[in-house]
Structure 1
Amino acid sequence: MNFEITPLTLAGACQDKSDALIVLVSEGFLAGKDALSLLIAHALEAKDLELKAGKILAAYRVPGIHSPKIWLVGCAQGTPVQVKTALSAVMPAIKSAQSKKLTVVFASAPQTPAVQAAILTVAEASYVYTTTQSKPVGRSLSLLKLGVPSLSPVVQKTFDIATAMAMGIEVAKEWANRPANHATPTLLGEAAKALSKAAKFSCEVLGPKEVDKLGMGSFMSVAKGSREPLRFIVMKYQGTAKTQAPVVLVGKGITFDTGGISIKPAAEMDEMKFDMSGAASVLGVFKSLSLLKPAINVVGLIPACENMPDGLAVKPGDVVTSMSGQTIEILNTDAEGRLVLCDALTYAERFKPKAGIDIATLTGACVVALGAVRSGLFATDDGLAHALEQAGEQAMDLCWRMPLDEDYADALKSNFADVANVGGRAGGAVTAAKFLQRFAKAFAWAHLDIAGTAWKGGAAKGATGRPVGLLMHYLLSHESAHQNKVSPSSRKVKSDAD
């Protein structure tokens, strides 16, 4: 889908020739003399339109208004959350109408963050997965035009960021949604290579021989049971001087998780294709970075493999040696995500990062604790934790900080290795984070457990693209801090999706 933003008053919107027109009406609306203003004013006076967020009034072929299909939608005070609620309520009708071109206009000057909410909500609602369908029902919406009463540089910048985020989220959804036989580690590596070639950042894909040479015994142990060879993907985005330390993102890339020898129950095991959602989010972030071209440095690491119960698969009780030299007793082969991440975190040390963040669908315990609303956040640095929490609020991609008390590490003690890979059911999300913490002592570290937020089940089954929005706001905050010291350069964002 393509995106446009334009100065558009209600009088101007009357002349708009899109297939469908959505007018977001908030409190404090002042009517003019144009046909749209009069329509809204009469509807409010007759109480046919309420300003409560999500209340809708539909109209068809109103004299003086060129768009044939019109939806007036209440959005209360016009906060980002209320704009999201309003557009989420009306978008099913837009999809049913199979409109190709949609204009969304704010009846009053919007809060700047509401512009982002509008872009992301429409993009979310219009996404359709088609890759493996023989007769795909393609996305009908091809253009979203966003109209605001006046277009300031701040609003333009917000729009540019939002459209880049929307395209990154779509990449993340696409790869997380693909069935495991269409998203193998090899295919994931090829996707990263293709993205890097188009976006002109560097990408290296390492295979089993290179990973073995690095001494990643923990990562390799997980891949042993699969005929699909592992891949270790290293992406580097350089937007500023090499002397500036990068942020390193590490995405869990288990392209399918059977649980290995500690095999999972059959029910809903198909959803384990989503176990590489952390990796997909890193791909999505790099898509967004390639569009925005911010003045920051970012490294993306994706350890990708399958977890399968072959005769060569690692067994409960086996002891392996990680890249760090620490030995690990594998008590449960279904706790494999931490085994691939720990070696990637050790590898991250070579970049001397200002911060390292891993993103993983890691524990069912985090789903129990936080459900599908907030991702679990663990961090060794208070400043990093606060920045990620703030970024989540700005992106409406929420997280919640969880504890890292040292007492939790006692559950990981082993009689046969330096550490066990599980510590029992109690506090499972925390003990998983404590395991990873052992391998991330060389830099400020955070862990995002997205097991509850990366995808939806049931009738709405599919990837959410989270936490691309959170990560992008966090990364862009580094650019803002840098630009306080250096004169900013102008930048234009391409706003058409691939």
Structure 2
Amino acid sequence: MQFTAKVSDISKQRTACAILPVDSKNRLSASGDALDSECSGFIGKVLKRGDLASKTASTLLLTPAEGKADRVLLVRSGDGVLSQAEFRKLARASAAAVKGYKDACSYLTEVEVADADTAWQAQQLALAAGLATYKFTRCLSDAKPNPLAKFAVHVPERKQLKAVQEQVDLGAAQASGSNVARELGNLPGNICTPTYLASQAKELAKKHAKITTSVVDAKKMQSLGMGAFMSVAKGSDEPPALIAMQYKGGKAGDKPVVLVGKGITFDTGGISLKPGMAMDEMKFDMCGAASVFGVMNAIAELGPAINVVGLVAAAENMPSGRASKPGDVVTSMSGKTIEILNTDAEGRLVLCDALTYAAKFKPDVVIDIATLTGACVIALGNHATGLYANRDELAQALIAAGERAGDRAWHMPLWDEYQSALDSNFADMQNIGGREAGSVTAACFLSRFAEDYTWAHLDIAGSAWNSGANKGATGRPVPLLLEYLLNR
């Protein structure tokens, strides 16, 4: 899909659909007035009839007989200066309305948004348009992709063009990376296995010279002492994989940011078997890994001068005669022993060894991303990602990135008082801390394996996918992570 920023004269701009804002008093923007003149006042007449609903982000599609635009999409922009959240609603509503056309040009940059410039608006418009075009077709016999191939954003002043195009490119990359993550997340578990993820990482390295991929297999994991990781994988016939994708865009001596993604390609719960209801959604338990793939794909496209490592801890969690049992004690790569009280708390077991392995890259920052706990869904719902960090500065930077990208996170406590919930009579720690503060104690568990570097944990159990009629992966937190990385 092609995204462009342009200073466009609407009277001369040919497009399948022009997107125009309309305020609460039915007033058009400058470009809207110009197009209305080209249409002999047709748009104004429609507005006087009251056909466009008053609710902000309502839309109305017109097909004027005159003018260069084949169609005009009117979008209710509300009263006065918009909040950033309101503008995102406009961006999403307009993108959903035009995804069925071959191209579109948005003039929503002519509305005023609080604490945001035209470049930010353009980023949000490109992000929304890119996300709207995604459709899962891999396993459908006759589905066709959405046809939107070109999306242009109007730039009111020529002096803004370069800055706006840069932000359009960022929004497009955020959408592209999110859609990579969505596609991997939506694939069924019989296709998207750890081996499949490893093959995708190798393909990425073939396409981009700055990316190299390596894979640690089960035999190597055993030799490295990854007893926690292997305790999850051994119940399945599918072999595990610890996948490392290294993007080297910065100087050779620059310390990388390491992203660690939980990649449980299907989670039955193991011997602590999950209920059958909605178990199909456990194919989404690798959405942390999917987001790492999304970020690495986007970084490869943008080519920033930074170093990033994407680590994916991929395994299936299955019940079998080989599977771990409640009460088993395993030794992690760090040498710390873990009593497994619940085999359905498997994500932290693969991640703890991956976090130990991450130290070999001498990281500046490590961020793990995981659909880790149902407790986080209870705490925050699906609106915010749970954020934990051992440095407040890192937490604040990630929160700020999420606010700018519209991919929000909430800073959760990581206090020492919670650590005692992990005490065990038979090992250095147990893998669950009880019902109370379940997301917090899971983060406390991971923190014990990230003591040697600056670290954050993103619990995306609520934000990584939607259930119900709109079931599917969201691609979060790819926008947040890209915003953070590029801000560095």
TM-score normalised by the chain length of structure 1: 0.90
Instruction: Tell which deviates more after alignment, 233-242 or 392-401.
Output: 233-242
Counterpart of 1:274 in structure 2 is 284
Counterpart of 1:81 in structure 2 is 85
Instruction: Tell which deviates more after alignment, 270-279 or 102-111.
Output: 102-111
Give the letter for the 1:13 counterpart: I
Give the letter for the 2:60 counterpart: L
Helix, strand or coil at the partner of 1:299: strand
Q: Residue 309 of structure 1: CA displacement?
A: 0.2
Query: Alignment partner for residue 110 of structure 2, among 108, 111, 117?
Result: 108
Query: In the aligned structure 1, how far is the partner of 2:111 from the partner of 2:383?
Result: 29
In 2, are the aligned partners of 1:318 and 1:331 still within 8 Å (CA)? yes
Helix, strand or coil at the partner of 2:107: strand
Instruction: Tell which deviates more after alignment, 294-303 or 145-154.
Output: 145-154
Give the letter for the 2:15 counterpart: S
Structure 1, unpaired ranges of 5+: 479-498
Q: Residue 25 of structure 1: CA displacement?
A: 4.0
Query: In the aligned structure 2, how far is the partner of 1:140 from the partner of 1:45?
Result: 33
Query: Alignment partner for residue 54 of structure 1, among 43, 57, 63?
Result: 57
Does residue 411 of the first structure (1) align with residue 421 of the second (2)? yes
Query: In the aligned structure 1, how far is the partner of 2:203 from the partner of 2:350?
Result: 24
Counterpart of 2:315 in structure 1 is 305
In 1, are the aligned partners of 2:155 and 2:164 still within 8 Å (CA)? no
Query: In the aligned structure 2, how far is the partner of 1:36 from the partner of 1:359?
Result: 49
- Against the structure 1 CA distance between its residues 136 and 29, is the aligned structure 2 distance closer, same or farther, given a 3 Å change threshold? closer
Counterpart of 2:5 in structure 1 is 5
Query: In the aligned structure 2, how far is the partner of 1:229 from the partner of 1:248?
Result: 24
Q: Residue 303 of structure 1: CA displacement?
A: 0.8
Instruction: Tell which deviates more after alignment, 206-215 or 434-443.
Output: 206-215
Helix, strand or coil at the partner of 1:349: helix
In 2, are the aligned partners of 1:25 and 1:51 still within 8 Å (CA)? no
Give the letter for the 1:169 counterpart: S
In 2, are the aligned partners of 1:31 and 1:41 still within 8 Å (CA)? no
Counterpart of 1:328 in structure 2 is 338
Counterpart of 1:22 in structure 2 is 19
Q: Residue 93 of structure 1: CA displacement?
A: 3.8
Q: Percent identity of the aligned residues?
A: 49
Query: In the aligned structure 1, how far is the partner of 2:42 from the partner of 2:409?
Result: 41
Does residue 474 of the first structure (1) align with residue 484 of the second (2)? yes
Query: In the aligned structure 1, how far is the partner of 2:481 from the partner of 2:271?
Result: 34
Give the letter for the 2:63 counterpart: Y
Counterpart of 1:482 in structure 2 is none
Counterpart of 1:219 in structure 2 is 229
Instruction: Tell which deviates more after alignment, 103-112 or 421-430.
Output: 103-112
Helix, strand or coil at the partner of 2:259: strand
Does residue 70 of the first structure (1) align with residue 77 of the second (2)? no
Helix, strand or coil at the partner of 1:75: strand
Query: In the aligned structure 1, how far is the partner of 2:140 from the partner of 2:84?
Result: 34
Q: Residue 311 of structure 1: CA displacement?
A: 0.8
Q: Residue 103 of structure 1: CA displacement?
A: 2.1
CA offsets 1:150-185 (integer angstroms, 9 cap, x no match): 352221211111111111111111101100111000
In 2, are the aligned partners of 1:316 and 1:333 still within 8 Å (CA)? yes
* Matching of residues 183-222 of structure 1 within 5 Å: 183-200=192-209, 201-222=211-232
Does residue 140 of the first structure (1) align with residue 144 of the second (2)? no
Instruction: Tell which deviates more after alignment, 432-441 or 74-83.
Output: 74-83
In 1, are the aligned partners of 2:91 and 2:124 still within 8 Å (CA)? no
Instruction: Tell which deviates more after alignment, 18-27 or 138-147.
Output: 18-27
Q: Residue 36 of structure 1: CA displacement?
A: 3.1
Counterpart of 2:446 in structure 1 is 436
In 1, are the aligned partners of 2:236 and 2:316 still within 8 Å (CA)? yes
Give the letter for the 2:449 counterpart: F
Q: Residue 56 of structure 1: CA displacement?
A: 2.4
Structure 2, unpaired ranges of 5+: none
Give the letter for the 2:258 counterpart: V
Helix, strand or coil at the partner of 2:246: strand
Q: Residue 196 of structure 1: CA displacement?
A: 1.8
* Matching of residues 34-45 of structure 1 within 5 Å: 34-36=34-36
Counterpart of 1:259 in structure 2 is 269
Helix, strand or coil at the partner of 1:118: helix
CA offsets 1:415-448 (integer angstroms, 9 cap, x no match): 1100000011111000000000000000111100
Q: Residue 383 of structure 1: CA displacement?
A: 0.3
Query: In the aligned structure 2, how far is the partner of 1:365 from the partner of 1:259?
Result: 16
In 2, are the aligned partners of 1:79 and 1:114 still within 8 Å (CA)? no
Counterpart of 2:303 in structure 1 is 293
Q: Residue 413 of structure 1: CA displacement?
A: 0.6
Give the letter for the 2:7 counterpart: P
Helix, strand or coil at the partner of 2:252: coil
Does residue 162 of the first structure (1) align with residue 171 of the second (2)? yes
CA offsets 1:192-248 (integer angstroms, 9 cap, x no match): 111122122111112111111211110011000100000110111111112111111
Query: In the aligned structure 1, how far is the partner of 2:269 from the partner of 2:29?
Result: 59
Counterpart of 2:402 in structure 1 is 392
Counterpart of 1:342 in structure 2 is 352
Between the two proteins, the alignment pairs up a number of residues equal to 472
In 2, are the aligned partners of 1:24 and 1:104 still within 8 Å (CA)? no
In 1, are the aligned partners of 2:77 and 2:111 still within 8 Å (CA)? no
- Against the structure 1 CA distance between its residues 134 and 232, is the aligned structure 2 distance closer, same or farther, given a 3 Å change threshold? same
Q: Residue 109 of structure 1: CA displacement?
A: 6.5
In 2, are the aligned partners of 1:25 and 1:108 still within 8 Å (CA)? no
Does residue 94 of the first structure (1) align with residue 104 of the second (2)? no
In 1, are the aligned partners of 2:284 and 2:465 still within 8 Å (CA)? yes
Helix, strand or coil at the partner of 2:5: strand
CA offsets 1:366-407 (integer angstroms, 9 cap, x no match): 000000000000011010000000000011000001111111
Query: In the aligned structure 2, how far is the partner of 1:35 from the partner of 1:340?
Result: 58
**Could you say what the CA RMSD is over the residues aligned between the two structures, in angstroms?**
2.0
TM-score normalised by the chain length of structure 2: 0.92
Helix, strand or coil at the partner of 1:182: coil
Helix, strand or coil at the partner of 2:247: strand
Query: In the aligned structure 2, how far is the partner of 1:39 from the partner of 1:397?
Result: 39
Instruction: Tell which deviates more after alignment, 179-188 or 39-48.
Output: 39-48
Q: Residue 35 of structure 1: CA displacement?
A: 3.0
Query: In the aligned structure 1, how far is the partner of 2:155 from the partner of 2:217?
Result: 50
Q: Residue 6 of structure 1: CA displacement?
A: 1.5
Query: In the aligned structure 2, how far is the partner of 1:78 from the partner of 1:154?
Result: 22
